[in-house]
Structure 1
Amino acid sequence: MGWLFRKLDLLGGAVIAGGAGAAASQLQAFMVQYLQRLGGHVDEAQRAFDAIGQGERYRQMDAATRELIVGDALARVNELRAARDAILEGDLISRPFAFFRHLDLAIAGRTGESFIPALPFDTAGLVYAATGLLLGLILYELIKGVLALPFRRRRSERAAGRPGP
């Protein structure tokens, strides 16, 4: 019976670690597709900002309203550019952190709807896959250790000659 449990444990660890590695390997592909969509939002926000100064409708507004609209449009352009630049300028290690720090949930949701998984063969994709594999294995071992703790206590109490609960 011990052999079967060891094999199931090995299988469970492999499945969890493999799943985590596969999921983490898609981070690079998702970031690339997110950046493409984010770049489109930057372009559109810039176009909208440029249109404010050229549009007849905006010239007819009072100065305070026009300034408010211009300020909001410029803030959106700067926000999107800052997010894009922070992600693009990140290196292999800092890029995922910059990505999650500057993540726009609406853009990420739309990216997820049309996300196409990719098989990573670049350095970043392979590093993320290996990191996910390692973290998945660590997570599996931690969960297994916590769940096995009551059984180890009972076994050690029986071995010491004390009755169990």
Structure 2
Amino acid sequence: MPMIARTLYLAAAAAGGSATSQFPEFFQQYLQRLGGHADQAAIQAARIRDAAAAEKLSLQAYLDSFLNSQISAHRRQGEILQVELGEADRLRQSLESLTQSPVWQRPFLMASQAETDILQAAATAYQPAVPITPEGFIYAGIGALMAIILLRSLRSIPSLFRRKAPQ
């Protein structure tokens, strides 16, 4: 392999490995933000349950007292309470799913379950890090391999358009 090609492959592997090795750090920063949101939502849900208990009502009866009220502001508050409780459950489930997933599933789960606002906030505040964990090295290796494969496939494209010399 000529020196220029080797250098190009090395640069592609380094770039691909560097890019994909950042996923574990980004994932960690996303999880921290998701965990904070889940914790706050759990606090809100506990306050709602405590309020229901203080009124000696089941949670559903407490919500129904708002939702069935003749006062529109009370009905609106009941809807907000329902949303708060649902959000607490959804965030908790998402956090559990992501933290308990195998390393290889994380990018796919994150893509399918990501909370858009939390993901955007994590991306805005993201600071790249040097991956020195086994997971970081695995992602770096996968990225390097993907970059080499991509470069090889790009190099073969011109041969598809060359005319074969008549024999």
Q: In the TM superposition, what is the alpha-carbon distance from 1:50 to its structure 2 partner?
A: 3.7
AA aligned to 1:68 is E
Q: Deviations over 1:40-96 (max 9, x none)?
A: 111222233344464xxxx9xx62124422221111111111111111001122222
AA aligned to 1:131 is I
Contact residue 33 and residue 111 of structure 1 kept, 8 A: yes
Q: 2:97 — aligned with what? A: 86
Using the alignment, how far apart are the partners of 1:67 and 1:89 within structure 2? 33
Q: In the TM superposition, what is the alpha-carbon distance from 1:119 to its structure 2 partner?
A: 1.2
Whether 2:25 is the aligned partner of 1:29: answer yes
* 1:74 to 1:34, Cα distance in 2 relative to 1, 3 A: same
Q: 2:66 — aligned with what? A: 63
Unaligned runs of 5+ in 1: none
Contact residue 89 and residue 95 of structure 1 kept, 8 A: no
Whether 2:14 is the aligned partner of 1:18: answer yes
Q: Which region of structure 1 is more displaced relative to structure 2, 8-17 or 98-107?
A: 8-17
Using the alignment, how far apart are the partners of 1:75 and 1:45 within structure 2? 9
Q: 1:133 — aligned with what? A: 144
Unaligned runs of 5+ in 2: 52-61, 68-74
Q: In the TM superposition, what is the alpha-carbon distance from 1:103 to its structure 2 partner?
A: 1.3
With the length of structure 2 as denominator, give the TM-score of the two structures: 0.76
Q: 2:118 — aligned with what? A: 107
Q: 2:70 — aligned with what? A: none
AA aligned to 1:28 is P
Q: Cα RMSD over matched residues?
A: 2.5
Whether 2:77 is the aligned partner of 1:74: answer no
Q: How many residues align?
A: 148
AA aligned to 1:75 is G
Contact residue 29 and residue 118 of structure 1 kept, 8 A: yes
**SS of structure 2 residue aligned to 1:28:** helix
Aligned-residue identity in percent: 27
Using the alignment, how far apart are the partners of 1:93 and 1:144 within structure 2? 29
Using the alignment, how far apart are the partners of 1:104 and 1:120 within structure 2? 25
